[in-house]
Structure 1
């Protein structure tokens, strides 16, 4: 598949299932390769990743459900959120957790003071690249995914459940799995509102 086609095929897939051809070991290799090949500022490699499948995946989304129960006072809103989690994220095959190792960011802030105020922003850019590369790699292997942000609501509980180092800051969750339904065509704004070209 051409890269352009792969980019167009990648979408936010919310209708996910557990029936995929890949093993957990294959998934781990796909994610590891995508993240290791992604650039970071000063090659500081501040992105950290945790891949959850099986019971660990289920445990994560139960943490989200339990956390929302204490935070969402509107019963209708809570019910709607839980329904989405159970029918999409929990029903997926697995989840990739993306973290920033803040000890790396702070080390570069101290050791390269000229750019100190930029290193956190640059770590976020590194994250975006790693997340997109992972998403494309999953797409290339016939899987669907979406990107979620229940952090910081779940940070402490997830850290305790999966023995996450204190210096790691949770940035995103990517549930992935079998594609059960493809979304409708994606709307985009007019090119002349978005792009400028000069020669």
Structure 2
């Protein structure tokens, strides 16, 4: 089996995150930055922007998330939500926030009108590629992660807290840290349902 496939199988959604991380915040920031810099994007547009949070900044993100969730979650369900956020996300070492720079997207739409309707889709592809690449790189470093989507609920509060540009649109949050519990079993769709192979 290839090393790449081994790494793909190692990368899983880890909800039992902890802070037992050997890398420094600066080392992790460099790892994440270099990984995103080397992921592809349509027209080399580099629409993906990222914010790496550790320490108190990471804690504040999930406090903000809980505050926003409490506004929209029925009271009887909020304790379960709070336990999940605190136990699976806030308990980690850090979080990567993935953003799309809409100014770049608009510039491409204006510069290449023939493809204007495609650039938002291509920006989403770039987010997915970047998030997957970082997730794989974190797994290679022995760290666990998940990909969450509390956007757009938390967008305004997070942008205000971090003083981020208005043209950055939040697309996902990736809490990461030490793997304190294994991932669950992974199911696969039948091959004949998901795949087709044609050969002349």
Deviations along 1:64-83, one digit per CA (max 9) or x if unpaired, are 010011111x2232111111
**What are the residue-to-residue correspondences of 1:18-167 with 2, within 5 Å?**
18-72=19-73, 74-167=74-167
Q: Whole-Å Cα distance in 2 between the matches of residues 65 and 81 of structure 1?
A: 8
Q: Whole-Å Cα distance in 1 between the matches of residues 34 and 139 of structure 2?
A: 14
TM-score normalised over the length of structure 2: 0.97
Q: Whole-Å Cα distance in 2 between the matches of residues 148 and 79 of structure 1?
A: 19
Deviations along 1:7-61, one digit per CA (max 9) or x if unpaired, are 0110000000011000011101110111011100000000000000000000000
Matched residue, 1:13: 14
Q: Whole-Å Cα distance in 1 between the matches of residues 38 and 198 of structure 2?
A: 31
How far did 1:127 drift? 0.5
**What are the residue-to-residue correspondences of 1:179-194 with 2, within 5 Å?**
179-194=179-194
Query: Structure 1 residue runs of 4+, over 6 Å off?
Result: none
Across the aligned residues of Structure 1 and Structure 2, the Cα RMSD in angstroms comes to 0.8
SS in 2 for 1:116: helix
Q: Whole-Å Cα distance in 2 between the matches of residues 30 and 76 of structure 1?
A: 41
Matched length: 198
Deviations along 1:61-109, one digit per CA (max 9) or x if unpaired, are 000010011111x223211111100111010000000000000000000
Q: Whole-Å Cα distance in 2 between the matches of residues 79 and 42 of structure 1?
A: 45
Q: Whole-Å Cα distance in 2 between the matches of residues 17 and 124 of structure 1?
A: 29
Q: Whole-Å Cα distance in 1 between the matches of residues 110 and 77 of structure 2?
A: 44
Q: Which runs of 5+ in 1 are unaligned?
A: none
Q: Whole-Å Cα distance in 2 between the matches of residues 94 and 172 of structure 1?
A: 14
SS in 2 for 1:166: coil
Q: Whole-Å Cα distance in 2 between the matches of residues 119 and 80 of structure 1?
A: 38
